[in-house]
Structures are given as C-alpha cells and as structure tokens.
Structure 1
Amino acid sequence: MINIVYRLKSPKFFEESIDEVELDGVIVRPTHLSICQADQRYYQGSRPANILDEKLPMALIHEAIGEVVFDSEGNFKSGDMVVMIPNTPFGEDVYSPNYSYSSKFRGSGFDGFTSDLVNLPEDRVVKIPDDFNLNVSAFIELISVAYQGISKFTQMAITPKDNLGVWGDGNLGFITALLLKELFPKSKVLVFGKHQENLNLFSFADEIYRIHDVDDDVVVDHAFECVGSSASQSAIDQIIDIINPQGTINLFGVSEYPVPINTRMVLEKGLTIQGNSRSDRVDFVGVVETLKQNPQLFEHLEKLITNICEINSLGDLKDAFDKDYISKFGKTILKWNI
C-alpha cells in the first residue's frame, strides 16, 4: 500500500516522501497529533548539529491517536480509535522497554506519526473509548510519562505520603500534579512554580507557591521535578532543602547539560533520586483506564490546550509549529486532514 510520509528534512523545512506500507500488524490513519518540546527542538534546529545530521530527515511527532484502517489479526475493527505507542522494542532483555538499549522511539530513533498511514505491531496500540475527548487523547503519551513515574514512585517510597510536592508549572507539572491528586486523594499536593498565570490553573492542588516565596515551615515528603533545562538545578536545590528525610526525588525534567546536585545533603537525609523517561504499554493502558474511571479529568486536561490547528498541507504544519513555539504554556493539537 502506498503511503506518504511528511518528514523534517532540515530545521523548519518539511518534505513529502512516498513509502510502502506492508499489510501486516495494525494500519492506523492518524487523526489528532500533539506537538512536544522535543519535536520543537528538531524543528527549530536547537539540537547539536551532529544530532541533526544523524537524525534528519525524519517524521516528527510521538503523541498521537488515530483510526484503525486494517488489522491483519482481526483484533481491531476498521474505525476503532486507538492511541499509538511510540516506544518500540527491537528484541528482549531484562529492562523495561522504555529504558532498554534495544528500543527505538518514534520521532527520535525513527519516523514519528506525521504520515498518511502508520504500521504498528498489535502491542503498540491501545483502544480508546468512543466518548473520549479526542483533542485531549492526542497527548495521552505525555500523560503516560507522568503515570509511569508515579507508578515507580509508588513501588519505591517507604516513608509517609502526606505531602507531595511538584516543581514546575508547565504541561508535565500540571499533569503530574493532577494524577497525584487523583491517585492519592488523602495526600496534599503542593505545586511550586515560577509563573503565577500558570499556577492559577492548578485549581485542584491543595497549595501553590511561587518558588521565590516559600514559607520556612513548608515541607514535603516526596518531590516530583518537572522543570528541566538549566532551571532544574535550582528546583532540585530547593527540593533537597525542604524534603523530609528518606524522601524520594523523582526527576522528569530534561536538560541538555549536566546539572550539579548537593550530594552532601542527599546523603545526610538518606534521599532516593529516581530518573523517569518515556513509558510503555502498561502505562498507556493505565492512563486509558484512569480516564475511563475518572472522566472529570478531561475537564482539567482540556485547560492545557492552547492551539487547535487544522492540517491540510505542509504549510499548515509549519504554521502550527511556529504558533506552538510562541505559546508560553499548553499543548498544540494538530487535526490531521492531509
């Protein structure tokens, strides 16, 4: 079957390529996609030159849902709506697929979802209910990243979970705080951020703080760092200062540069630092089930959507990336009509 793939050839320049799609596995037609900061780094050319040379040309976008066109095994019906899992194992080992050396990630290790059709193995798609908000469902992948980190935290934390602190008032901080409030209803969720206009959207949180205006008596039992870049250093420093002994520091923020950490106080307090990246099928299934059981979450998650762009041409795709780049907060959703 003939397929057209829309690849980033060089920063800010997309091109069409004709590929062949084999009629095996599950064939999905993308319908709703969401731009991630990682996509923007490729589009803007802000990754190191050697990385761009190695990766491009490549189709972007790893957050997407779509409509099943064909399933060789017959487990999905034509027209079923599914969320597509970008993390793809190539082989088996003792590690979780999202941390395994044998895995590749769409929109990073190989083509993402900007194409007419996508061929995926059966275990790389998860059906979503017909009544789901499709614009929110487009970024289930991002929600699944927070979900897998919280799942690991649940297995690791040994001290009380009375006060859970989230650092970062961006998209991931919002989602992490929202899931914590839903999954740990008896815990207080405290959010620490820099931008008051963003913090005002965290209406579900028990307390919100500007990072430079935190009372001396504020403490947390466990912390979730969702800041990233060079700013993660000050966030981690503040976490180490106010976290209780034997707490866990769960890192989500990505930085292109090494980040110093006050290991003296990490040792003195007996803290555990855990890194979190990406997710796998079990996390997608968990998110879909959580949203199914708690449909009120869609109302909160919808607040993250700042742009909805109809994509009918490569010019529309470029315009959507440009519009997303100047947005200070939230998600840009692509209604994929190409």
Structure 2
Amino acid sequence: MKQAVMEKPGSIRFETVAETPPGPGEVQIRVRQIGICGSDIHVWHGSHPFTPYPVIQGHEFMGTVEAIGPGVDTPPPLGAKVTALPQIVCGQCNPCRKGRFNICENLRVRGFQADGCGRELYNIPAERLVILPDDFTADQGAFVEPVSVAVHACKRAGDLAGRNVVVLGAGTIGNLIAQVAKARGAAKVLITDVADYRLDVARRCGVDHAVNTSRESLEDATEAAFGPGGFDLAFEAAGVEASLRSVVKAIEKGGLVLIVGVYGKPPVVDMSIVGEHEIVLAGSMMYWREDWEAAVQLLASSVSIAPLVSRHLPFDEWPDAYRFIDANGPSIMKVMVDL
C-alpha cells in the first residue's frame, strides 16, 4: 500500500509498504478522503509544539471497511462508510476515570503524536469507529471530525436556546461553531473575521451576521446585531490576542468566553475586567464519542459544508495542497486530499 510520511517540516515522502492485516480488536479502513486542518498546517511548517517527526498525518477522514480483525465483538459490515476518533488515551488518569478522555493526562492524537490515516489502508481499534449513513458523501464523512469540535464547544456552553452568540474567527471551525449554535437554538449569531471571503462563506452557510472587525469595532457590530439585549456567550476561534481582548471588553457582565482557537503565543488579557465583570473564561478540547454521533446527525440535516470546500487534490499532490493553502491564505477554507 502507499502512504505519505512527513519526514520533516515541508517534506513528505511517498512510499509503498507491505499491507498489514488488522490485529485483534481492529478494523481495517480503506481511506477515501482526508481533510487538512489548521493543526496539520502547523506540522507542515514545523510550528506544532507537540509533533515529532517522522509522522503520518491525517485525522479528518472518510473511508470504507476493508477487513475485520479477530475479536471484534460487533463487526461493522464490509464496505460500510466510516470515520474514527483519533484519540489514544490511557484510561487510567483522573480525567479518563471521570469519563473525560478528551483531556487525558497522557493523550496522544493520531496524525500528531501517533501515525494517522495518510495511507491507503488504515488499521484502528474497532471501539474508535463511527459508522456513517450509506448516503454520506466523502466530504460529509471527512467533516465529521471538525463538526465534532463545534458540537463539543457548544455543549460546553450549556443551553443555547434564545441566546445571542458571538463567534470570533470565521475559519472552518468558527464557521461550524456558528452553524451548530444556530442549530442548537441560538437566537442570533454574529461571526467576525478580517477576511471578507470567509465572512461571505459564513453568510452562504446561513450565519445571521458577519462583520469584518478590521473596519468595524466589535462593540458597534454587536450593538447593530443584538441591540440593547447584548450577548453573554462568545466562542474565540481565531486564536488571536486582539480578538480575545476585544470580546472580554464587549461581552455582558457575567458572560462566558469559550476558547477554541489555538494561540501561537500566550495572549495578554485584562484580568481586572475579567474579575470585576465576573467573566468566565473556559476552554474546549476536542470531543467525546457522543459529539461525533451528534455531528453525523447535524451533517445529515442542517450543517452546510459545500461552501467550505475550496479544493480537492489527489493523494500524490498532498505537498501541493499545503503550498496552495500557504499561497491563498484567508481566501480559502477547507482543502481535501483524495485517495
């Protein structure tokens, strides 16, 4: 089989290796499509702090069941469309014992600290498998992982019914958070960015208000969108200090700011405002299995992904996918690699 190995930042080697049958408790997947996310790009640039080299990338994907190893209690049908959770957890630490394996003390993620799905055949424990509807497209299957990030973040925020919500950052994750928040009953959703293209995509996905904060302040934007009702919930998905600082100033007293973005360096926040206004800053990390199951349902019903797919490239051109992303920056969204 063919696989892609990132030997070092900016260098992917394609190689042909012997096929390995699935081991006990494993299912073998024939990979059909892989989505590239922001963290993958950090690995390409050598700026991901927790990824050693060499590594096989890939964690957003769709494939079909090719073979089933011994000892799988409930084997899926051969040929079934599937994806899989990428976390490898210890099951022994305090978070794991509390059922919060997404923040396992010894967490490893396939595609980063362990090899991912960037190969034709991918063996994975059957317990990590997520069965997809027969009518799912490859794009839908590859989007289950990022939609799960949005589902988990929205779940962390509690009941969204009737609330005004701000999402800072209109990249793929911010866009999906905005869509999921609306699907979960948010009254109005405002999304911000400094890239007009991403804001236009958000509008095409049905987001209520999309504002370029390089031209309009967050305070003015929220006043226009929400009026005197204001907002008490924000998702920071840009990973930018200025974005976080602005939302801490603009959110209603007692409000909740959920951090979903990844920061290249520690941001500086005015903690006197956080303290005096009783603002809650909380994090959101990856997802649970039930988030994946909810993501599948949302993709089958209400979440729009067609406007988010910017380009498809064949497996052999994976390095060109990164070059395309680097060259086009904020004028693209999701790039897919097809096997």
User: Structure 2 length normalisation: TM-score?
Assistant: 0.87
2:158 matched to 1:154? yes
Q: Please give the per-residue CA displacement for 1:33-77, whole angstroms capped at 9, x wherever unaligned.
A: 0111211122233346xx66xx10110111111110122325201
Residues 1:317 and 1:192: Cα distance change in structure 2 (over 3 Å): closer
> 1:63-82 to 2 correspondence within 5 Å?
63-72=60-69, 73=72, 74-82=74-82
Secondary structure of the corresponding residue to residue 6 of structure 1: strand
Offset at 1:241? Answer: 1.5
Distance, in Å, in 2 between the alignment partners of 1:242 and 1:162 is 16
Match of 2:112 among 103, 108, 114: 108
2:331 matched to 1:309? no
2:241 matched to 1:240? no
Match of 1:58 among 55, 60, 63: 55
2:337 matched to 1:334? yes
Offset at 1:114? Answer: 0.6
Secondary structure of the corresponding residue to residue 154 of structure 1: coil
Say whether the 8 Å CA contact 1:123–1:281 is kept in structure 2.
no
* Amino acid paired to 2:46: G
Q: Which runs of 5+ in 2 are unaligned?
A: 224-229
* Residue 11 of structure 2: aligned partner: 13
Distance, in Å, in 2 between the alignment partners of 1:119 and 1:84 is 10
* Amino acid paired to 1:86: P
2:148 matched to 1:140? no
Offset at 1:14? Answer: 2.0
* Residue 205 of structure 1: aligned partner: 207
2:234 matched to 1:223? yes
Offset at 1:17? Answer: 6.2
Say whether the 8 Å CA contact 1:90–1:104 is kept in structure 2.
no
Secondary structure of the corresponding residue to residue 101 of structure 2: coil
* Residue 172 of structure 1: aligned partner: 173
* Amino acid paired to 1:208: A
Distance, in Å, in 1 between the alignment partners of 2:208 and 2:324 is 33
Say whether the 8 Å CA contact 2:22–2:67 is kept in structure 1.
no
Question: Which is worse superposed, 161-170 or 103-112?
Answer: 161-170
* Residue 263 of structure 1: aligned partner: 271
* Amino acid paired to 2:121: L
* Amino acid paired to 2:338: K
Residues 1:90 and 1:119: Cα distance change in structure 2 (over 3 Å): farther
* Residue 227 of structure 2: aligned partner: none
Match of 1:277 among 277, 285, 295: 285
Say whether the 8 Å CA contact 1:4–1:115 is kept in structure 2.
yes
Distance, in Å, in 2 between the alignment partners of 1:70 and 1:21 is 8
Aligned residues with identical type, % of pairs: 23
Match of 1:121 among 125, 139, 143: 125
* Amino acid paired to 1:163: N
* Residue 192 of structure 1: aligned partner: 192
Question: Which is worse superposed, 324-333 or 210-219?
Answer: 210-219
Q: Please give the per-residue CA displacement for 1:9-47, whole angstroms capped at 9, x wherever unaligned.
A: 112222226364443311111111011121112223334
Say whether the 8 Å CA contact 1:7–1:17 is kept in structure 2.
no
* Residue 252 of structure 1: aligned partner: 260
Say whether the 8 Å CA contact 1:167–1:225 is kept in structure 2.
yes
Offset at 1:221? Answer: 1.4
Offset at 1:283? Answer: 1.2
Secondary structure of the corresponding residue to residue 191 of structure 1: strand
Offset at 1:101? Answer: 1.4
Distance, in Å, in 2 between the alignment partners of 1:21 and 1:259 is 46
* Amino acid paired to 2:8: S
RMSD over equivalenced CA pairs, Å = 2.1
Secondary structure of the corresponding residue to residue 249 of structure 1: strand
Residues 1:143 and 1:323: Cα distance change in structure 2 (over 3 Å): same
Distance, in Å, in 2 between the alignment partners of 1:93 and 1:46 is 28
Question: Which is worse superposed, 90-99 or 240-249?
Answer: 90-99
Match of 2:101 among 97, 100, 105: 97
Q: Please give the per-residue CA displacement for 1:209-242, whole angstroms capped at 9, x wherever unaligned.
A: 22241354723211010101xxx21111111111
Q: Which runs of 5+ in 1 are unaligned?
A: none
Q: Please give the per-residue CA displacement for 1:259-315, whole angstroms capped at 9, x wherever unaligned.
A: 1111111111111111112223221111112223x1x42xx311010011122x3xx
Offset at 1:197? Answer: 2.6
* Amino acid paired to 1:207: H
* Residue 323 of structure 1: aligned partner: 324
Residues 1:94 and 1:164: Cα distance change in structure 2 (over 3 Å): same
